[in-house]
Amino acid sequence: MTTTRSATRHAWWVAFLSGMVSYLDAGAIVTTGTALVLYGKEFGFGIETIAPLSSILTFAIAVGALIGGRLGDRFGRRRIFLLTLSLFAVGAAVLTFAPGTAWLYPGIVLLGFAAGADLPVSMSMIAEAASDANRGKMVSFTHILWMGGVIIVSLLGALFGDLGVIAARILYGHLLVIAVVVLVLRLRLPESKAWQTTASLMAVDPEMRGLRAFKPLLTRRYLSALVATGVFYALVNIAANINGQFSTYMYTTVAGAKVSTASTIGMIITLVSAASLLLLMRIVDGRRRMIWFTIMAVLSLVAFMIPALIGVTVSTLVIFGVLYSIGGAVAGEPMYKVWSQELFPTSHRATAQGITIAFTRIVAALVGLLIPSLIAFGASSIFFLMAATSVVAFAIGIFWIARMPKATDDDPALKATDTESVAA
């Protein structure tokens, strides 16, 4: 009993330290959106520089995920996520002390690449430290950390926003401090036992090295899971990305509210979403998970249709925000994270996630370029787009992904790890 409790505490510690990249990922995105405006006033640039820098961040995250995921499967979770977090700290330092516009480009590339590369590796580390009884719960917990990044950066922006460029340096400096602290704490984490087991097989089996290592992902079972999770995440993320990037614009420019009002509402809705994730943590490892997923998918669709059919006003945006924050916490990105751990074996878990994360970020960046034109055509059309892409994603989750066999049920590396734990 004592050994089991100790193993559970260790797994939660791994979940926290590994999951902090979600905090840093969210912090990097939100901080950059605010800090570039402040740096622009100081360095003398406008939207013509802000827009490409924002796109660079998105694409850097995508490239980082693609490369980091494969490196994590090839060279180990611990080695790669120490390297990526070190790069993140360097990028944050460059952005914190940037003396001019030219320094923002390498800083944002490093920040985005490091965050993207860390995400699939750290998520795999969590999945391999957890057990079948709490794997979904621990993976879902990382999204609470993601919300924490949004909330803390928003609070810092509210407290120091009037200080101009100093506020930008405080925001990036906060990411630098958090990255360094987490990096120091990660130094004491051991390598994933499941990955070590897989690494020993890779050492003696040439089929698991080099380009041939991708062959299992091209088999019917894993290719199907790769396509399904990638398309689900890309489609369900379109609504989340639009809501994150353009909600303030919709409140102020379309609905006529003040920025302070939009910020206050946004903060409350974020807290509602964080509370909804607690529900996901309770049900995600149980038998009724897909029943809850279906209920929350319907709730999300109702949320989209309210401003789509009634019109975009402050009231409809608030109702939409509350309902979507609840529904999306279960039938959205958090569920993608859970499925990505369950459907792929230890040998290819990070690689698969890297591919799907990269694909999703690229789709989000491309769709984001179309949103201003859609808003000009009619703000309600945005919500019809969110509903259309989401309903396809929900159908994929219910009728395709939910019926797939879990790799965690027959992963030899996880089975070996569980046997060692029982023997201990």
pLDDT band at 299 (very low <50, low <70, confident <90, very high): very high
CA distance 81 to 326: 31
The reported pLDDT for the residue numbered 164 is: 85
Q: Which residue has the tokens 């919300």?
A: 147
Q: Which residue has the higher pLDDT, 154 or 388?
A: 388
215 pLDDT exceeds 90? Answer: no
414 pLDDT exceeds 70? Answer: no
Angstrom distances, CA of residue 169 to CA of 32, 38, 93, 176, 238: 11, 9, 9, 10, 30
User: Where are the alpha helices (H) located in 161-288, listed in sequence order?
Assistant: 165-186, 193-204, 220-249, 259-283
Q: What is the pLDDT of residues 234-273, one digit of tens each?
A: 999 999 888 877 777 788 778 888 767 777 788 888 889 8
The reported pLDDT for the residue numbered 424 is: 44
The reported pLDDT for the residue numbered 24 is: 95
CA distance 319 to 308: 12
The reported pLDDT for the residue numbered 219 is: 82
CA distance 296 to 290: 10
Q: Which residue has the higher pLDDT, 67 or 248?
A: 67
CA distance 189 to 78: 7
Q: What is the pLDDT of residues 145-165, one digit of tens each?
A: 998 998 898 888 878 878 888
CA distance 268 to 147: 12
413 pLDDT exceeds 70? Answer: no
Both structure tokens of 303: 């949320």
412 pLDDT exceeds 90? Answer: no
The reported pLDDT for the residue numbered 8 is: 85
User: Where are the alpha helices (H) located in 284-332, listed in sequence order?
Assistant: 289-310, 314-330
Q: Which residue has the higher pLDDT, 293 or 57?
A: 293
Amino acid at 92: A
pLDDT band at 177 (very low <50, low <70, confident <90, very high): very high
Q: What is the pLDDT of residues 84-103, one digit of tens each?
A: 999 999 999 999 999 999 99
The reported pLDDT for the residue numbered 338 is: 93
Q: What is the pLDDT of residues 104-139, one digit of tens each?
A: 999 999 999 999 999 999 999 998 988 888 888 999
Mean pLDDT is lowest, of 46-55, 293-302, 330-339, for 46-55
The reported pLDDT for the residue numbered 256 is: 86
The reported pLDDT for the residue numbered 227 is: 96
**280: helix, strand or coil:** helix
Contact 251, 264 (CB under 8 A): no
Count Cβ atoms below 10 Å from residue 407 Cβ, excluding itself: 21
Q: Which residue has the higher pLDDT, 398 or 57?
A: 398
Who's near 357: CB < 8 A, 6+ residues apart? 61, 62, 65, 66, 69, 116, 119, 120, 233
Contact 370, 376 (CB under 8 A): no
The reported pLDDT for the residue numbered 368 is: 77
Contact 414, 138 (CB under 8 A): no
Per 3-state DSSP, the chain is made up of helix, strand and coil in percentages (nearest 5) of 90, 0, 10
Phi, psi (rounded to 5 degrees) for 197: -65, -45
CATH level 2 (architecture), domain 8-423: Up-down Bundle (1.20)
Q: Which residue has the tokens 């916490």?
A: 329
Domain residue spans in the chain? 8-423
CA distance 321 to 306: 10
Who's near 66: CB < 8 A, 6+ residues apart? 116, 354, 355, 357, 358
The reported pLDDT for the residue numbered 422 is: 42
Percent of the chain, pLDDT > 90? 52
CA distance 134 to 129: 10
Angstrom distances, CA of residue 330 to CA of 325, 361, 397, 403: 9, 20, 12, 18
The reported pLDDT for the residue numbered 416 is: 58
Q: What is the pLDDT of residues 16-48, one digit of tens each?
A: 999 999 999 989 988 888 888 889 888 988 868
